[in-house]
């Protein structure tokens, strides 16, 4: 899984907004598909931390927690993330 940065634009005002999503990639036959697992809203973290956050969120979905002390900011973001049911 990975964190995707998604840009949307308000057509009336022209304002651009950035939101983040946890995305799962999988194969369906001979095609690669992507599924949004969580909407994360706007993240105010360094993009180099996206991979760590994706790992924490993946572990949360699996029902386990890290045995190591990690970044508390990333863990608090992971706890507040909304799971998308598809």
Burial 32-65 (b: 16+ CB within 10 A, else e): eeeeebbebeebebeeebbebbbebbbebbeeee
pLDDT in the model for residue 58: 87
pLDDT of residue 84: 61
**Do the Cβ atoms of 41 and 65 come closer than 8 Å?**
no
Q: How high is the pLDDT of residue 53?
A: 87
Q: Are 3 and 20 in contact (CB under 8 A)?
A: yes
Asked whether the predicted pLDDT for residue 85 surpasses 90, the reply is no
pLDDT at 56: 85
Out of 18-22, 47-51, 75-79, 81-85, which region has the weakest mean confidence (pLDDT)?
A: 81-85
Q: List, for residues 12-70, the tens digit of each pLDDT value.
A: 999 999 999 999 999 999 999 999 998 888 888 899 989 988 888 888 888 776 655 66
pLDDT at position 62 is 83
């Amino acid at each position: 899984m990975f964190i995707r940065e998604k840009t949307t634009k308000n057509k009336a005002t022209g304002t651009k907004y950035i939101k983040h999503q946890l995305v799962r990639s999988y194969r369906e036959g001979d095609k690669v598909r992507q599924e949004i697992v969580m909407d994360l809203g706007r993240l105010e973290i360094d993009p180099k931390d996206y991979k760590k956050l994706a790992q924490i969120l993946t572990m949360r979905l699996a029902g386990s927690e890290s045995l190591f002390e990690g970044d508390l900011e990333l863990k608090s973001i992971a706890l507040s993330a909304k799971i998308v049911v598809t």
